[in-house]
């Protein structure tokens, strides 16, 4: 190659190289200027914006749930407490693959279908970066397993918290109710700030009624955390205000005796202090273990309760509506005296049946052949004479029966501090017209006279009505709560029957005493060993109708079609301290089945640990023929 050409190529290459170097330097300068500009923007122009965002990532405001208030009986026995529990939680934002994480957890700690299904429901309504419970009541052994495998499951933590626990289990199920996980519907109505960090809320019963008092006020803390969400230090803390402790009027010993008295039966018992309205015991049987509901009941357990033919979830004390049957007779007797329709000396002939004027239909007495020709009010109450109360109801009329019954708390909710109470039914002309679209007939008044027909009452209402008799006209709203903290809570006085004379109260009270103490009383079997004076009335309410002319045959009926047994009482009769109502479904005999249960409850309250033998009451009972249905009903 010629030397000149060689020199020319070398010059060209150097020039190209120089251009490339220049371009590279210029590009580096441009990129450097861009970086400097961006850095200046981040550090100077947008400093406050990014500093705030950084602090948000680094500093978190965490709620501190308040401790729920405790519940005690009148003697200081703990009925609802808070115990430590460990919960496995997951923060979705710190998990790469939720399905893979769940699969790994399942290898370490077995999860059931309910755990996963409930977790996915909670996941759908959580807040960002909120720890969502996956499994409750995690054991120490499982916690150790998770600790060893922690590197495999980032975003999974063990959360220590206090959860509700009911030491007596099913004994107070229908009175206390229970707390449970906050539902989506409840999230729409509760204060989102005050319930931050709280997973539980009162669902039914006292726990729901006094939720605001028991819950407390949320606290919070500002914490510094690292990129993995681990708390490095607490910057600021405001402690929560714990919920208020409450004390009940209920006596746990009396409650236990009442529950034991119903063992093997379906029914309810309510006991009250007639002079204060304080609820001493309230039992519905069968019950259920409320602890099952606290962390979310399993489908299997809930299905078993729902499908149980004895309906353990049903609060018979507040929701069961039964014909009061002959337990209503003392009230109608008092109405007759008050309105001047009868006097204590008024006597009627009882041939064993009653007929309305110009009506050939016969309303039968439970006692074939009747009680005789000279039956007065006291004898009618003691022997539960149907004919006497047929005639008395006819003379009083439904309007006066209705208005007088309302004064005893019948046909209306009592105002008890609990949930889901039903009102029963004190029928009237207006009710019949509105609900049935028909007129009221005299025969319907006759049935109300013996607590049958349309008339219905809850066991609580029967206890309230009995308390009104015991307190001689004072009608209190029944109250479970005795004190909130150190502050005593009184029961509201809803009415006072000052217009009823002392003489009339005396007459009715004495009649009810003779139910137990009289030779012909339907509760005479209870007087053996009785160390106090008891006033009472038994009753038996029909479940199914029996054709006219037929006799009630217990053995021929399905057990669940047999009559209900009722008994109301108060004691001591001369200075009442307790009033009791007992309803035993399909128990048949008020005096001999429900009566002993009432006696046990009264003994437990008045005598404490002294527990004399309780002798069953008389199996003697009354019955009648329902003129409209042909049903044969016995008392």
Q: Are 210 and 35 in contact (CB under 8 A)?
A: no
Q: Are residues 594 and 445 in the same domain?
A: yes
CA distance 239 to 220: 7
Q: Please report whether residue 238 resides in a domain.
A: yes
pTM of the model: 0.84
Of 453, 465, 141, 459, give the one whose Cα is nearest residue 331.
Answer: 465
Q: Are residues 473 and 403 in the same domain?
A: yes
Structure confidence at residue 537 (pLDDT): 97
Q: Are residues 267 and 325 in the same domain?
A: yes
pLDDT > 90: percent of the chain: 58
Q: Are residues 240 and 256 in the same domain?
A: no
Q: Give per-residue pLDDT as tens, 48-72.
A: 555 555 555 577 788 889 999 999 9
Would you please indicate which residues are annotated as catalytic (active-site) residues?
Answer: 326
Q: Please report whether residue 175 resides in a domain.
A: yes
Half-sphere exposure of 299 (CA within 13 A, CB side): 7
Range of the domain at 218: 61-247
Structure confidence at residue 622 (pLDDT): 43
Q: Please report whether residue 375 resides in a domain.
A: yes
Dihedral Cα 290, 293, 294, 296, nearest 10 deg: 170
- Could you tell me the CATH number of the domain that includes residue 210? 3.90.1310.10
Structure confidence at residue 153 (pLDDT): 87
Structure confidence at residue 187 (pLDDT): 84
Cβ-based neighbours of 29, under 8 Å, separated by 6 or more: none
- Region 322-335: mean pLDDT is 98
Q: Would you say residue 544 has pLDDT above 70?
A: no
Structure confidence at residue 511 (pLDDT): 98
Residue linked to tokens 């309105």: 339
Q: Are residues 159 and 290 in the same domain?
A: no
Structure confidence at residue 630 (pLDDT): 35
Q: Is 499 annotated as a binding residue?
A: no
Structure confidence at residue 591 (pLDDT): 77
Q: Please report whether residue 54 resides in a domain.
A: no
7: confidence class by pLDDT, cuts 50, 70, 90: low
Q: Would you say residue 416 has pLDDT above 50?
A: yes
Provide the number of structural domains found in the chain: 3
Q: Give per-residue pLDDT as tens, 368-403.
A: 777 777 899 999 999 999 999 999 999 999 999 999
- Could you tell me the CATH number of the domain that includes residue 590? 3.40.710.10
Q: What is the mean pLDDT of the chain?
A: 87
Q: Are residues 15 and 110 in the same domain?
A: no
Q: Are residues 469 and 497 in the same domain?
A: yes
- Region 284-312: mean pLDDT is 94
Q: Give per-residue pLDDT as tens, 556-572.
A: 566 676 788 999 999 99
CA distance 318 to 306: 19
Q: Please report whether residue 494 resides in a domain.
A: yes
Q: Would you say residue 288 has pLDDT above 70?
A: yes
Q: Are residues 175 and 260 in the same domain?
A: no
Q: Is 371 annotated as a binding residue?
A: yes
- Region 529-553: mean pLDDT is 77
Structure confidence at residue 157 (pLDDT): 86
Q: Please report whether residue 53 resides in a domain.
A: no
Domain boundary among 229, 247, 265: 247
Q: Would you say residue 198 has pLDDT above 90?
A: no
Structure confidence at residue 25 (pLDDT): 85
Q: Are residues 145 and 19 in the same domain?
A: no
Q: Please report whether residue 55 resides in a domain.
A: no
Q: Is 188 annotated as a binding residue?
A: no
Q: Are residues 166 and 194 in the same domain?
A: yes
Q: Are residues 122 and 36 in the same domain?
A: no
Q: Would you say residue 31 has pLDDT above 70?
A: yes
Structure confidence at residue 228 (pLDDT): 62
Q: Is 385 annotated as a binding residue?
A: yes
Domain boundary among 247, 281, 301: 247
Q: Are residues 242 and 257 in the same domain?
A: no
């Amino acid at each position: 190659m010629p030397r000149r050409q060689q020199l020319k190529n070398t010059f060209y290459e150097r020039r190209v190289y120089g251009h490339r170097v220049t371009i590279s330097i210029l590009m580096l300068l441009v990129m450097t200027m861009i970086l400097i500009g961006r850095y200046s923007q981040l550090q100077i122009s947008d400093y406050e914006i990014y500093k705030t965002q950084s602090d948000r990532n680094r500093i978190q405001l965490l709620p501190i749930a308040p401790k729920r208030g405790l519940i005690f009986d009148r003697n200081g026995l703990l009925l609802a407490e808070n115990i430590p529990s460990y919960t496995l939680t997951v923060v979705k934002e710190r998990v790469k693959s939720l399905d893979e994480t769940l699969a790994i957890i399942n290898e370490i700690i077995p999860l059931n279908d309910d755990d996963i299904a409930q977790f996915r429901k909670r996941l759908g309504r959580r807040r960002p970066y909120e720890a969502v419970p996956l499994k409750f009541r995690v054991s120490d052994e499982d916690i150790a397993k998770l600790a060893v495998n922690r590197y495999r499951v980032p975003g999974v933590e063990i959360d220590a918290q206090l959860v509700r626990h009911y030491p007596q289990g099913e004994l107070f199920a229908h009175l206390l109710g229970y707390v449970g996980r906050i539902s989506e519907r409840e999230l729409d109505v509760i204060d989102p700030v005050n319930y931050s960090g709280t997973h539980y809320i009162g669902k039914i019963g006292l726990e729901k009624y006094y939720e605001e008092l028991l819950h407390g006020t949320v606290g919070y803390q500002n914490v510094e955390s690292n990129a993995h969400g681990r708390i490095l230090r607490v910057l600021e803390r405001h402690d929560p205000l714990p919920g208020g402790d409450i004390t009940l009027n209920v006596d746990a010993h009396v409650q236990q005796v009442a529950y034991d008295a119903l063992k093997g039966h379906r029914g309810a018992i309510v006991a009250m202090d007639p002079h204060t309205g304080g609820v001493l015991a309230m039992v519905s049987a069968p019950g259920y273990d409320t602890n099952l509901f606290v962390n979310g009941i399993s489908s299997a357990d809930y299905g078993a309760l729902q499908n149980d033919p004895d309906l353990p979830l049903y609060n018979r004390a507040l929701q069961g509506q039964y014909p009061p049957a002959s337990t209503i007779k003392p009230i109608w007797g008092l109405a007759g005296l008050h309105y001047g329709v009868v006097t204590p000396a008024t006597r009627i002939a009882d041939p064993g049946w009653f007929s309305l004027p110009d009506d050939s239909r016969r309303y039968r007495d439970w006692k074939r052949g009747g009680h005789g020709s000279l039956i007065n009010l006291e004898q009618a109450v003691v022997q539960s004479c149907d004919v006497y109360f047929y005639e008395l109801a006819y003379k009083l009329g439904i309007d006066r029966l209705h208005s007088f019954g309302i004064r005893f708390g019948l046909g209306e909710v009592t105002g008890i501090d609990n949930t889901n109470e039903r009102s029963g039914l004190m029928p009237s002309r207006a009710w019949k017209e509105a609900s049935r679209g028909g007129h009221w007939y005299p025969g319907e008044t006759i049935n109300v006279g013996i607590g049958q027909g349309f008339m219905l009452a809850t066991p609580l209402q029967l206890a309230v009505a009995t308390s009104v008799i015991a307190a001689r006209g004072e009608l209190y709203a029944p109250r479970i709560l005795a004190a909130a903290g150190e502050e005593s809570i009184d029961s509201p006085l809803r009415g006072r029957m000052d217009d009823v004379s002392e003489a009339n109260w005396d007459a009715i009270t004495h009649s009810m005493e003779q139910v137990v103490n009289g030779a012909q009383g339907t509760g005479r079997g209870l007087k053996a060993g009785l160390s106090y004076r008891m006033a009472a009335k038994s009753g038996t309410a029909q479940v199914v109708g029996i054709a006219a002319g037929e006799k009630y045959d217990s053995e021929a009926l399905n057990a669940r079609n047999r009559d209900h047994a009722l008994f109301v009482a108060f004691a001591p009769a001369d200075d009442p301290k307790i009033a009791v109502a007992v309803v035993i479904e399909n128990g048949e005999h008020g005096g001999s089945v429900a009566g002993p249960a009432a006696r046990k409850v009264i003994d437990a309250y008045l005598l404490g640990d002294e527990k004399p033998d309780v002798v069953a009451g008389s199996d003697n009972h009354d019955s009648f023929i329902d003129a409209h249905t042909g049903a044969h009903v016995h008392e």
